[in-house]
Structure 1
Amino acid sequence: MTAISSSPTSASQVLERNISQFNDKSVLVAGAIEDTYAIELAKVCNSVHVFTTYYSAYQALQQSDQIELDFGASFTPETPLEVDAVIVYLPKTKAEVDYLLANVVPQIKMGGILYLVGDNRGGIKSVDKQLTPYSSNKANKLDSARRCSLLALEISQACQPFQLDDWLTTYPCEVKGERLDIVSLPGVFSAKELDLGTRLLLENIAPLKGNALDIGCGAGVIGSFLLKQNPELKVEMTDVSALAVESAKLTLAKNGLNAHVFPSDVYSEVGQRYTTLVSNPPFHAGLNTNYGAVEQIIADAKQHLKIRGRLILVANKFLRYEPLFEKAFTHCELLTETTKFKLLSNYPD
C-alpha cells in the first residue's frame, strides 16, 4: 500500500469532476483508498462512512470528525446502512474486488448506486462480469480522465449478507519437516501457496531465541513456522492489511499456536525491541513498484532491535537492498541465495 496522500490521487480527481453525483447523499467509501479525499467528500454529502482494510488509510482519516470510520477484515454492521451510494476504489486483484463488493453492496438501498473508480490498467475495463450478482443492468461509464475511469451501476438485485467463512482458503504447507495449515483471505500474500522467497528464508534461518517480529506477516506463514521451529520463541506479527491480520490470527488458531498479531504501518504501532526482525517485504504498491515500506523497515530497524539483534529479509535477486543495509548498519551479510531470491541480514553489533 502506498503512503496516504493529503492531495487527491488521480482516481479522486475523477470523483471530484463528478462531485454533483454525491450532493446531499449518504455515501459509503471503500476499497484501495490512497488519499484523504473522503474528508472533502463529507463537505457535500449528507453523511460519509468509510470502510477500509488498510491501517495506513485508517490512521490518515482519523483526523476527521466529519466521517464515520471502520477498519477491519469485514464490514458487517448490525443493521444495513442503506446508503444512497457506495464508492469503491478498485483494488488491484479480481479476488479482492469480489471480496470487497460482497462486503459493501449489501449496505446500498435498492435502487442506490454503486460507483467504481480505478486505473484503466487495473481491471476496471473488465469488471462487468463481477457486477452481475448485483444488478440486471450494465454499468455506465460516467467519466474517464487521468488514466482512470468512473463507472456507475444501479443496484436492482437483493444480495445476501456478507459471511467471512465463505471467503477463506486453507492449504497445507511443509518446511524442514514442520507442517502447517495456512488460512487466508483474498488478496493476502501467500494466500494460496507458499512463496518461494519465504521458503528460502524458512529453510535457511538459524534457530532463534528471545523474541521476534514478523513484519508484513501476510497469512502468518513466517511467524507460525518460527513458532513451530522454536517453541520457546515469543513471536509478534504485524501487517498494514486487516485481511492479513485476520488471516494470520486464523492460521495461528488452526495450528494451535499463540502469537500477538496487530495492525501496524511498518513500525507505527511497534513499541518494543526484538532479538530478531524478519520479513518478506512487499515492493509493489497497487500497480507500481514502491520501496517505501522496505526502506523504512531497514532504516528504522535499529530502533526496534535489541543489542546484537538481527534484521533478516528475503528479497528478489534484482532488488538492490544492500545499499540500504549498508547505510543503516554499515555492513550487509548475504546469508544465502538462489537464481531468483537472496537472504540478507545485518552483522550483529
Structure 2
Amino acid sequence: MFEALTPVSEMLARNLDTLSRQPLLVCGLLEDNLPGLLAEAGPAPRVFTTDFRYFQWQQGQGLADIEFGASPGARPAAGLLLLMPKAKAEAEYLLAACLPLLAVGAPVFIAGDNKGGVKAAPKLLAPYCGQVNKLDSARRASLYQAELTTLPSPFILADWVNRYAMEEEQLQICTLPGVFSAGHLDSGSRLLLNSITTLKGRVLDFGCGAGVIGASLLKRHPGLELECIDINALALEASRLTLAENRLEGRVYASDGLSQVNGKFDHIISNPPFHAGLKTFYHTTETLLSSAVDYLKPGGSLILVANAFLPYPELIEKSFGHCDTLAANGKFKIYRASR
C-alpha cells in the first residue's frame, strides 16, 4: 500500500542534500517510505503521524522513531518537513503542534501536490517565518523552504476544538481540523441515524470520525456497550471529547479496519470513508463488507450508509447472502444485512 514513492517524494528525492542536513521532524500526508530515503541520505528523521495504518506499516519496516497521536511529544526537533494534508485547517493545526518544538533559525519545509493546497505554503508560514522560498517544482509537486523567525506559543489542543449542536439529540459534537463531519452533521449520517429504530447490546461505530454516530446511538439507546474505532488520531481524540462533553461512555481506540477489534458485536454501524488524501479509496469499506460477518454474533447486523452509486449491495450479498435497503434519498442509501 505504501511501497511506491508518490510524485511528491520523487520530487523531494532530488533535494535530499538540503533535506538531510539535520534530523527533520516529518509529519502530514505520509504515503510512502520517504523517511527511509531521508535516513539513507543523512540523519534519520523523526516521524509524527495521525494515521494508524501508516504508523503500523512503518513499525513493521523497523522505523524506531515514529509517533502516532493527535500531537507530537514534547521532545525538541532540529527542523520540520510538513507534507501538505488534504485540509488546509489540518496543515495549520500541524504547524501549530510541531513548530514549538523547533528553535529560532531552524529550517521549515512544506511539500505537496500542486492540486493539494501546497501553494498556500507562504501564507501558512507567514506567522512564523520571515521569507518563504520555492525550492523546487517537479512531478506536479512543489517544495517550499523557510527559516523559523517567530517561535509560536506552546501547543494547546483545546484551542483547536470546535463544537456544534445536534439539537434533535441534544448533543454537543466536538471536532478537530480535518475530521469528517467537522462543521455539521452530514446528511448521510442523519439518514443513517433516522433509519435505526431499535438497538441493544455491543455496538461498533466503524470509522467514528467526530463521534457523531456513536454519541447519538448512546443518547437514543441508553445501555449500549459502545466501541468507536478509526485510523485517524484526530478523529479518535474528537470522539473521546464528544463522549466526555455529553457525559457518555464508550471505548475509543485505533484500528486498521477490524484488525484491532476483539470479540463479536450485536451491531456494526458505519458511515465508512471512501476518500484517502486526494484519491477515492474503497479498500477499507470493501474489507469491512467482506469480513464484518465474522465479527457479528448470530442475529447481529451490519448497517451502513453509502453513496447511492457505490456497488456495495453486491459485496454485502456476497458475504451475507442478502442485503436490505432500509432507506434512500437522492444521494445516499442505508443498507442492512444480518448474520
Q: TM-score by structure 1 length?
A: 0.93
For residues 65 and 34 of structure 1, what CA distance do their matches in structure 2 show? 16
Report whether the alignment pairs 1:308 with 2:291. no
Question: Which residue, out of 217, 226, 243, partners 1:252?
Answer: 243
Match of residue 151 from structure 2: 158
Match of residue 98 from structure 2: 104
Do the aligned partners of 2:27 and 2:83 also contact (CA within 8 Å) in 1?
Answer: yes
Structure-2 change in CA distance of 1:299 and 1:66 (3 Å)? closer
Match of residue 223 from structure 1: 214
Do the aligned partners of 1:30 and 1:88 also contact (CA within 8 Å) in 2?
Answer: yes
User: Letter of the aligned partner of 1:48 in structure 2?
Assistant: P
Cα deviations across residues 266-318 of structure 1 (Å, max 9, x unaligned)?
A: 11211211110000011111112111111111111112111121111101222
Q: Which runs of 5+ in 1 are unaligned?
A: none
For residues 275 and 48 of structure 2, what CA distance do their matches in structure 1 show? 22
Do the aligned partners of 2:105 and 2:149 also contact (CA within 8 Å) in 1?
Answer: yes
Match of residue 124 from structure 2: 130
Note the C-alpha offset of 1:235. Answer: 0.6
% same residue: 44
Do the aligned partners of 1:220 and 1:237 also contact (CA within 8 Å) in 2?
Answer: yes
Match of residue 16 from structure 2: 19
For residues 36 and 306 of structure 1, what CA distance do their matches in structure 2 show? 39
User: Letter of the aligned partner of 1:195 in structure 2?
Assistant: D
For residues 107 and 190 of structure 2, what CA distance do their matches in structure 1 show? 45
Question: Which residue, out of 115, 140, 160, partners 1:167?
Answer: 160
For residues 88 and 310 of structure 2, what CA distance do their matches in structure 1 show? 27
Cα deviations across residues 69-126 of structure 1 (Å, max 9, x unaligned)?
A: 111111241x5x141x211110011111100111112222222211111111011113
Cα deviations across residues 163-186 of structure 1 (Å, max 9, x unaligned)?
A: 1011000111033xx211101111
Note the C-alpha offset of 1:65. Answer: 4.7
Cα deviations across residues 118-175 of structure 1 (Å, max 9, x unaligned)?
A: 11101111332111111121x2222222221111112111211111011000111033
User: Letter of the aligned partner of 2:116 in structure 1?
Assistant: G
For residues 284 and 216 of structure 2, what CA distance do their matches in structure 1 show? 23
Question: Which residue, out of 234, 240, 243, partners 1:243?
Answer: 234
Structure-2 change in CA distance of 1:62 and 1:211 (3 Å)? same
For residues 65 and 42 of structure 1, what CA distance do their matches in structure 2 show? 12
For residue 252 of structure 2, give the secondary structure of its aligned residue in structure 1: strand
Do the aligned partners of 2:164 and 2:172 also contact (CA within 8 Å) in 1?
Answer: yes
Q: Which runs of 5+ in 2 are unaligned?
A: none
For residues 259 and 178 of structure 2, what CA distance do their matches in structure 1 show? 22
RMSD: 1.4
Match of residue 182 from structure 1: 173
Question: Which residue, out of 114, 118, 124, partners 2:112?
Answer: 118
For residues 238 and 199 of structure 2, what CA distance do their matches in structure 1 show? 24
Question: Which residue, out of 328, 334, 337, partners 1:337?
Answer: 328
User: Letter of the aligned partner of 1:61 in structure 2?
Assistant: Q
User: Letter of the aligned partner of 1:74 in structure 2?
Assistant: S
Do the aligned partners of 1:315 and 1:342 also contact (CA within 8 Å) in 2?
Answer: yes
For residue 297 of structure 1, give the secondary structure of its aligned residue in structure 2: helix
Do the aligned partners of 1:29 and 1:86 also contact (CA within 8 Å) in 2?
Answer: yes
Match of residue 285 from structure 2: 294
For residues 20 and 45 of structure 1, what CA distance do their matches in structure 2 show? 8
Q: TM-score by structure 2 length?
A: 0.96
Do the aligned partners of 1:50 and 1:67 also contact (CA within 8 Å) in 2?
Answer: no
For residues 95 and 24 of structure 1, what CA distance do their matches in structure 2 show? 29
Match of residue 31 from structure 1: 28
Length, aligned pairs only: 339
